[in-house]
């Protein structure tokens, strides 16, 4: 069974640019959530999508956005990049029904902003 | 405000030297407390879910316990392959952020190094 796939794995951008990250969840999983991981703040929840609808959103500025497609694949976008956006962005998928804490994470997209 | 604090930040053990990792939490209404393991360059991997005080879960050399204010991850006779960062997370059942969702609040983790 294929795991959660994230692309690209590594990318370098400059301040002011925008970036789009992609996530393909495990087959059958309809819930996709995104987390930002930094050494200083740890893992922080960005947003969650289910059936193409954003169900929850964390405490991040509007520059961070996302969407989910009908096949459950998800993308997140960060506009007007800042140096502080440098982080590992992790996507996780799960069954929403009967959720018991088990998120299946991808290996992440490591973003460096120069 | 919901908060998860893990200690120590880093722990070095000799192979076979048992120890415990701590996770203190503050949430309005605990829906569940979860432990994850993260290896370098990988995403976190789920280990356990605990729901109520007094509950315990075991897996190989790991045992997780829960009280009303904290959780412990006990590591018995660790091996070098247990080296990883261990993350604790909670889900707040009363927060609008977590209404019927999967959003978790993570601690910053404890990095465990086990040497042979």
The residue that leads in pLDDT, A25 or B96, is A25
Q: Pick out chain B residues at pLDDT < 70.
A: 94-100
pLDDT of B100: 56
Taking CB atoms and an 8 Å limit, are B89 and A43 in contact across chains? yes
Q: Rounded to whole angstroms, how far apart are CA atoms B23 and B68?
A: 11
For all residues of chain A together, what is the average pLDDT? 94
Query: CB-based contact (8 Å) between A56 and chain B?
Result: yes
SS (H, E, C) A65-87: EEEECCCCCEEEEECCCCHHHCE
End-to-end alpha-carbon separation of chain B, Å?
A: 41
pLDDT of A106: 97
Q: Find the farthest-apart pair of alpha carbons in chain B and give their distance in angstroms, rounded.
A: 46
Q: Give the mean model confidence (pLDDT) for residues A64-93.
A: 97
Mutate to test the interface with A, among B25, B40, B43, B50 (most CBs of A within 10 A): B43
The residue that leads in pLDDT, B1 or A18, is A18
Answer yes or no: is pLDDT of A1 > 70. Answer: no
pLDDT of A54: 93
Which of A76-80, A93-97, B55-59, B77-81 has the least mean pLDDT?
Answer: A93-97
pLDDT of B95: 60
Taking CB atoms and an 8 Å limit, are B102 and A33 in contact across chains? yes
pLDDT tens-digit readout, A56-67: 899 999 999 999
B39-57 b/e with 16+ CB inside 10 Å = b?
Answer: eeeebbebbbbbeeeeeee
Give A103's contacts in chain B (Cβ within 8 Å).
44, 46, 102, 104
Token representation of residue A57: 């959103």
> Which chain A residue has its CA at the smallest distance from B98's CA?
A56
Taking CB atoms and an 8 Å limit, are A42 and B34 in contact across chains? no
Residue A84: is it exposed, middle or buried by C-beta count within 10 angstroms (0-12/13-18/19+)?
Answer: exposed
Pairing of strands B10-14, B110-115: parallel
Instruction: Find out whether A56 and A48 touch, Cβ atoms under 8 Å.
Output: yes
Mutate to test the interface with B, among A10, A39, A41, A43 (most CBs of B within 10 A): A43
């Amino acid at each position: 069974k294929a795991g959660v796939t994230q692309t690209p794995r590594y990318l370098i951008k400059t301040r002011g640019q925008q970036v789009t990250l992609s996530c393909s969840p495990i087959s059958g999983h309809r819930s996709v959530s995104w987390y930002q991981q930094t050494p200083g703040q740890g893992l922080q929840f960005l947003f969650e999508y289910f059936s193409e609808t954003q169900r929850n959103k964390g405490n991040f500025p509007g520059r961070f956005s996302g969407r989910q497609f009908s096949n459950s694949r998800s993308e997140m976008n960060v506009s007007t990049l800042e140096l502080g956006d440098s982080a590992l962005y992790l996507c996780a998928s799960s069954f929403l029904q009967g959720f018991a804490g088990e998120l299946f994470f991808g290996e992440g997209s490591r973003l460096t902003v120069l | 405000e919901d908060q998860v604090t893990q200690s120590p930040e880093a722990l070095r053990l000799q192979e076979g030297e048992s120890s415990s990792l701590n996770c203190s939490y503050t949430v309005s209404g605990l829906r569940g407390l979860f432990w994850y393991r993260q290896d370098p360059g990988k995403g976190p991997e789920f280990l356990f879910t605990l729901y109520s005080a007094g509950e315990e879960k075991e897996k190989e050399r790991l045992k997780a316990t829960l009280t009303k204010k904290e959780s412990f991850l006990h590591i018995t006779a660790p091996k070098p392959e247990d080296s990883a960062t261990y993350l604790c997370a909670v889900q707040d059942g009363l927060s609008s952020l977590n209404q019927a969702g999967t959003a978790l609040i993570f601690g910053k983790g404890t990095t465990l190094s086990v040497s042979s």
